[in-house]
Amino acid sequence: MQNPWLKIPLADYEGHMALPQVAQATLLADVFEGALRKYAPMSVAILGCAGGNGFDRIDPQVTTRVVGIDIHPAYVATARERFQQRLPGLELIVADLQQDEVSIAPVDLVFAALLFEYVETDAVLESVRRLLKPGGCLTTVVQLPHTDAPTVTPSPFINLQSLGSCLRLVSPEFLRERAAAHSLTETESVRVTSLGGKSFQGQSFVATAPEESSEVPASNGVSRSRQPLPTESQNEP
211 touches 183 (CB < 8 A) = yes
Instruction: Determine the pLDDT at residue 79.
Output: 98
Taking alpha carbons only, the member of 39, 54, 48 closest to residue 107 is: 39
Residue 162 pLDDT exceeds 70 = yes
Distance from C-alpha of 168 to C-alpha of 73, rounded to nearest angstrom = 24
Whether residue 231 is predicted with pLDDT greater than 70 in this model: the reply is: no
Q: How far is CA 61 from CA 66, 87, 140, 207, in A?
A: 12, 9, 24, 25
pLDDT digits (tens, 9 = 90+) for 170-201: 999 999 999 999 999 999 999 999 988 889 99
pLDDT higher at 197 or 81: 81
Q: Tell me whether residue 61 is in a domain.
A: yes
Neighbours of 42 (CB within 10 A): 14
**Dist. CA 82–CA 71, nearest whole Å:** 18
214 pLDDT higher than 60 = no
pLDDT at 150 over 50: yes
CA distance 155 to 225: 39
Domain hosting residue 164, numbered range: 4-209
Beta sheet of 184-193, edge-to-edge order: 90-94, 65-70, 43-47, 107-113, 132-143, 199-207, 184-193
Residue 230 forms part of a structural domain: no
42 belongs to a structural domain: yes
Residue 143 lies in a domain: yes
Res 209: pLDDT: 77
pLDDT at residue 3, rounded to an integer? 86
Residue 111 reports pLDDT greater than 70: yes
Q: How many domains does the chain have?
A: 1
First to last CA, the chain: 31
Write down the pLDDT at residue 4: 86
Q: Is 196 part of a structural domain of the chain?
A: yes
Q: How far is CA 137 from CA 11, 83, 150, 213, 234, in A?
A: 31, 24, 32, 21, 24
Q: Which amino acid is at 153?
A: T
Mean pLDDT score across all residues of the chain: 87
Residue 163 inside a domain? The answer is: yes
- Residue 61 pLDDT more than 90? yes
Is residue 221 in some structural domain?
no
pLDDT in tens, 119-144: 999 999 999 999 999 999 999 999 99
Residues 37, 185: Cα–Cα separation, whole Å? 20
Q: Is pLDDT at 25 greater than 70 in this prediction?
A: yes
Q: Is residue 222 part of a domain?
A: no
| Per-residue pLDDT, 1 | 65
Average pLDDT over residues 44-67: 98
Q: What is the pLDDT of residue 157?
A: 84
Check which CATH number belongs to the domain holding 26 and give it. Answer: 3.40.50.150
Of 55 and 154, the one with more pLDDT = 55
